[in-house]
């Protein structure tokens, strides 16, 4: 075969490969569209297969991977500790991490990190959940919900050991811990999370002034602070007063939101 013929043969192979690649991309998008339709109809198993097909046909199709991870996540049932159920969460996390490994656009990064963080939280893997919510915060520092989520984790990390110690001492939840040694140990353990929790919840409210859920948790965080004042009843009372103030602010915001809904056309009406 002469040189000209070899070049023509090479070009023919290249064109064939390009045509095959283009065809696969079209087929991938078709599978993605059909998967989205199945997903919207809550046919998650069918949707998963469609999204897997789309990824196999076009590994660079980020939206297919994001939908695949989200479909796996929707199959996960929080609290059901079975191998099959946990596998759904693990598969979702693996796909989200695969998306992140491709250095995708900003929105895909944020959505993937949020997906991983949410699944870890539901699986009660709080340290890993906080790690990924912190990554979201670094990418999107103006998202109040991320600060709120970190605050919820901080409160969970402090509330559980506090209740365990009170149960051991035979105390009611609202009673102060008078055992100095136990209180000091609890303060050393909980103070970092209490301080961080207050900081991030305040930030969430700063970014969203009517964030009543964040206000409610700030109330709870002040109650955590009150229980590690250790032998200082005045400081404890001041903390509890601040907690009560946040309860009042929470209720006021909720009432204001309810009133706005009631005033909207088609809003809530009360029979007179």
Q: What does the alpha-carbon distance between residue 4 and residue 212 come to, in Å, rounded to a whole number?
A: 75
Higher-confidence position of 245 and 18: 245
Q: What is the pLDDT of residue 13?
A: 42
Q: Which two tokens stand for residue 33?
A: 């569209």
Quote the percentage of the chain above a pLDDT of 90: 80
pLDDT digits (tens, 9 = 90+) for 88-143: 999 999 999 999 999 999 999 999 999 999 999 999 999 999 999 999 999 999 99
Q: What does the alpha-carbon distance between residue 240 and residue 246 come to, in Å, rounded to a whole number?
A: 10
The 3 state secondary structure assigned to 222-243 is HHHHHCCCCCCHHHHHHHHHHH
Q: What does the alpha-carbon distance between residue 162 and residue 176 come to, in Å, rounded to a whole number?
A: 11
Q: What is the pLDDT of residue 19?
A: 46
Q: What is the pLDDT of residue 3?
A: 54
Instruction: Tell whether the model's pLDDT for residue 17 goes beyond 50.
Output: no
Q: What does the alpha-carbon distance between residue 29 and residue 35 come to, in Å, rounded to a whole number?
A: 10
- Residue 183: band (very low, low, confident or very high) from pLDDT cuts 50, 70, 90: very high
Residue (of 134, 173, 183, 184) closest to 154 by Cα position: 134
Task: Give the max Cα distance, the chain.
Answer: 97
- Residue 264: band (very low, low, confident or very high) from pLDDT cuts 50, 70, 90: confident
pTM of the model: 0.85
């Amino acid at each position: 075969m002469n040189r000209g013929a070899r070049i023509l043969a090479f070009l023919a192979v290249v064109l064939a490969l390009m045509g095959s690649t283009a065809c696969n991309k079209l087929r991938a998008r078709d599978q993605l569209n059909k998967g989205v339709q199945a997903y919207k109809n809550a046919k998650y198993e069918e949707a998963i297969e469609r999204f897997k097909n789309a990824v196999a046909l076009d590994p660079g199709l980020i939206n297919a991977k994001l939908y695949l991870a989200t479909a796996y996540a929707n199959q996960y049932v929080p609290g059901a500790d079975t191998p099959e159920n946990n596998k759904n969460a693990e598969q979702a996390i693996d796909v989200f991490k695969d998306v992140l490994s491709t250095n995708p656009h900003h929105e895909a990064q944020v959505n993937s990190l949020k997906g991983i963080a949410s699944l870890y939280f539901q699986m009660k893997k709080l340290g890993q959940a906080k790690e990924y919510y912190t990554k979201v915060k670094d990418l999107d520092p103006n998202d109040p919900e991320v600060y709120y989520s970190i605050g919820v984790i901080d409160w969970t990390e402090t509330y559980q050991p506090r209740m365990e110690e009170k149960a051991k001492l035979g105390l009611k939840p609202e009673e102060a811990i008078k055992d100095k040694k136990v209180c000091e140990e609890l303060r050393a353990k909980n103070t970092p999370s209490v301080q961080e929790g207050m900081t991030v919840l305040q930030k969430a409210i700063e970014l969203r002034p009517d964030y009543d859920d964040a206000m409610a948790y700030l109330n709870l965080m002040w109650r955590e602070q009150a229980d590690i004042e250790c032998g200082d009843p005045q400081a404890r009372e001041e903390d509890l007063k601040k907690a009560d103030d946040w309860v009042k602010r929470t209720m006021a915001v909720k009432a204001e939101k309810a009133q706005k809904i009631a005033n909207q056309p088609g809003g809530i009406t009360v029979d007179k």
